[in-house]
Amino acid sequence: MNPKRNLMTLDEFTIQETRKFPNATGNLSAILRDIGLACKIINKQVLKAGLVDILGKHGNTNVQGEEQMKLDIFADDALISVLKGSADCAGIASEENDDFVAFDDEYSKNSKYVVLFDPLDGSSNIDVNASIGTIFSIYKRVTPLGTVCTEEDFLQPGNKLMAAGYVIYGSSTMMVYATKLGVNGFTLEPSIGEFCLSHPDMKCAEQGKIYSINQGNSCKFHDGMKSFLDYCMEDNKEEGRPYSHRYIGSMVADMHRTLIKGGIFIYPADKKNANGKLRLQYECNPMSFLMEAAGGIGSTGTERILDVTPTELHQRVPIYIGSKNMVEKALEFVK
Ligand code: P6P
């Protein structure tokens, strides 16, 4: 950090982190900077979404069968073009694309990492100006350098993640990411166009007072889930209940609050959707990696999310994630 300034930029921080590993090549730091650049480009568009004809439906639907908002496409394109042009990424997989994209130029084929992302999660909230976000995961490729990456590189379990995190486009724009060294948050300083360290060494409290779930789906919930909701709403002052209920319907926003304030976020299996709604590779693994690095837990209800072996790019899993004590209590009801 430059003694003349009290700000440490994302670039300065990642380079400082690299120095802790004598054998590090700096490629991981470079990818994080690339993602930061792409998200600054996305942020600029998100901020003016209300002003230009970029709101509203794109007319297509993605592999999830969801209406694609024009900003979804813009965000997807921004991430692909920046990562394709970098010298650090062998290929990408996106929630918005049916299949992965292998970069076949020499630089990319000799890159060590692949990146998966949900380019604009929660995009159904764009029209109502609620916070939305980009979620990203960085894996070391398992296929040989010099070759084109394959699907195997993208079907790695979350316990192989090198880094993962999100950018939240909210009242301020923040990047929060985890490596095995911990979780750090960076707030975009528009006057210099840099993400600056604002939340060093973030931790998720073991116990919180907020539960976050789409309670409107209760009619489909299994009995154990219903009993846990009754537990959350029970009038039990000495145990700090009833909890408050908060649900934004944008995972990045609900997870950012859970990380900062403590709490539990749940998108459960239900009678109609045995695997819930959220995607293992684009939402659940990166958020579980980050939450565990902050001292929290991420579970499918039956196993640690990071230990699930992916079988296809867009598979879904139920998710119980957040404060350790609250997730463990929820699992008592649903297991
Ligand atoms: P529901 C947004 O579409 C998303 O993928 C997540 O960001 C969010 O947590 C969830 O779906 C909301 O789903 O069914 O409650 O609207």
Q: Tens digits of per-residue pLDDT, 8-17?
A: 999 999 988 8
Give the CATH number, domain containing residue 220. Answer: 3.40.190.80
Over the stretch 282-295, which tens digit does the pLDDT of each residue have?
Answer: 999 999 999 999 99
* Range(s) of the domain holding residue 120: 10-199
Q: Both 261 and 112 in a single domain?
A: no
CB atoms within 10 A of CB 335: 9
Residue 277 has pLDDT above 70, yes or no: yes
Q: What residues contact 53, with CB distance under 8 A and at least 6 apart?
A: none
Nearest residue (by CA) to ligand 1, atom 1, is 249
Cα separations in angstroms, 195 against 15, 41, 115, 176, 281: 14, 13, 20, 10, 25
Q: Both 37 and 112 in a single domain?
A: yes
Q: How far is the C-alpha of 134 from the C-alpha of 136, rounded, in Å?
A: 7
CB atoms within 10 A of CB 280: 27
Are 204 and 291 spatial neighbours (Cβ–Cβ below 8 Å)? yes
Residue 50 has pLDDT above 80, yes or no: no
CA of 122 to the centre of ligand 1 (A): 6
H helices of the chain, where?
Answer: 10-18, 27-47, 70-85, 106-109, 223-233, 251-261, 285-293, 324-334
Within a domain: residue 2?
no
Are 89 and 114 spatial neighbours (Cβ–Cβ below 8 Å)? yes
Which of 178, 199, 220 is at the close of a domain? 199
Q: How far is the C-alpha of 266 from the C-alpha of 214, rounded, in Å?
A: 8
CA of 249 to the centre of ligand 1 (A): 5
Strand partners, 194: 189
Q: Which residue has the higher pLDDT, 60 or 306?
A: 306
Question: Ligand 1 pocket test: which of 95, 118, 121 has the largest number of ligand atoms within 8 Å of its C-beta?
Answer: 121
Over the stretch 68-105, which tens digit does the pLDDT of each residue have?
Answer: 668 889 999 999 999 999 989 999 999 999 999 999 99
Provide, rounded to the nearest whole percent, the portion of the chain with pLDDT above 90: 81
Nearest residue (by CA) to ligand 1, atom 12, is 249
Q: Both 150 and 107 in a single domain?
A: yes
CA of 153 to the centre of ligand 1 (A): 27
CA of 322 to the centre of ligand 1 (A): 17
Within a domain: residue 204?
no
Q: How far is the C-alpha of 327 from the C-alpha of 262, rounded, in Å?
A: 11
Q: How far is the C-alpha of 314 from the C-alpha of 66, rounded, in Å?
A: 13
Q: With CA atoms as reference, report the closest residue to 160 among 177, 137, 185, 133.
A: 137
DSSP-assigned states of every residue in 151-189: GGGGS--GGGEEEEEEEEESSSEEEEEEETTEEEEEEEE
Q: Both 161 and 24 in a single domain?
A: yes
Strand partners, 132: 169
CA of 211 to the centre of ligand 1 (A): 15
Q: Both 293 and 166 in a single domain?
A: no
CA of 121 to the centre of ligand 1 (A): 8
Q: Both 166 and 215 in a single domain?
A: no
Within a domain: residue 285?
yes
Nearest residue (by CA) to ligand 1, atom 13, is 249
Residue 223 has pLDDT above 70, yes or no: yes
Residue 314 has pLDDT above 60, yes or no: yes
Within a domain: residue 317?
yes
273 lines ligand 1 (CB under 6 A): no
Q: What is the per-residue pLDDT for 227?
A: 98
121 lines ligand 1 (CB under 6 A): yes
214 lines ligand 1 (CB under 6 A): yes
Q: Reduce the DSSP state of residue 304 to 3 states and report it.
A: strand
Q: Both 298 and 152 in a single domain?
A: no
Q: Both 129 and 39 in a single domain?
A: yes
pLDDT (average), residues 38-48? 92
Question: Ligand 1 pocket test: which of 62, 245, 246, 250 has the largest number of ligand atoms within 8 Å of its C-beta?
Answer: 250
Q: With CA atoms as reference, report the closest residue to 313 among 84, 94, 167, 127.
A: 94
Q: Both 189 and 309 in a single domain?
A: no
Mean pLDDT rounded to a whole number for the chain: 93
Within 13 A of 120's CA, how many CA atoms are on the CB side?
33
